[in-house]
Amino acid sequence: MTQSTGTVWLTQDAYDKLRAELEDLKGPRRQEIIERIAAARDEGDLKENSGYHAAKDEQGKQEARIRQLEDMLRRAEVGETPANDGVVEPGMVVTIKFAGDDDREKFLLGARENLAEGDKLDVYSPQSAMGSAINGKSRGDTVTYTAPNGKDLQVEIVDAEPYRS
Residue 15 has pLDDT above 70, yes or no: yes
Cα separation, 160 vs 107, whole angstroms: 10
pLDDT tens string 128-142: 999 999 999 999 999
CA 6 to chain centre: 12
pLDDT tens string 79-98: 777 888 999 998 899 999 99
Residue 3 has pLDDT above 60, yes or no: no
- Is 32 within a domain? yes
The domain tally of the chain equals 2
Neighbours of 34 (CB within 10 A): 12
Q: Is the pTM of this model over 0.85?
A: no
Output the domain CATH number for residue 56.
Answer: 1.10.287.180
Domain identity same for 12 and 60 = yes
Boundary of a domain, candidates 19, 48, 78: 78
Share of the chain above pLDDT 90, in %: 56
Confidence band for 20, pLDDT divided at 50, 70 and 90: very high
- Is 74 within a domain? yes
- Is 86 within a domain? no
Confidence band for 42, pLDDT divided at 50, 70 and 90: confident
DSSP secondary structure of 94-158: EEEEETT---EEEEEES-GGGSPTT---EEE-TTSHHHHHHTT-BTT-EEEEE-TTS-EEEEEEE
Residue 104 has pLDDT above 70, yes or no: yes
- Is 41 within a domain? yes
- The reported pLDDT for the residue numbered 1 is 37
Confidence band for 2, pLDDT divided at 50, 70 and 90: very low
- The reported pLDDT for the residue numbered 5 is 59
* Whether 126 contacts 90, CB under 8 Å: yes
Residue 7 has pLDDT above 80, yes or no: no
Output the domain CATH number for residue 158.
Answer: 3.10.50.30
Could you list the residue range(s) of the whole structural domain that residue 58 is in?
A: 8-78
In a 13 Å sphere around the CA of 87, the CA atoms on its Cβ side amount to: 6
Closest C-alpha among 139, 135, 36, 124 to residue 84? 139
The one-letter amino acid code at 121 reads L
* Strand duo 122-124 + 142-146: pairing: unpaired
* Whether 101 contacts 86, CB under 8 Å: no
Domain identity same for 14 and 71 = yes
Average pLDDT score over the chain: 88
Domain identity same for 96 and 73 = no
Cα separation, 2 vs 76, whole angstroms: 16
Confidence band for 9, pLDDT divided at 50, 70 and 90: confident
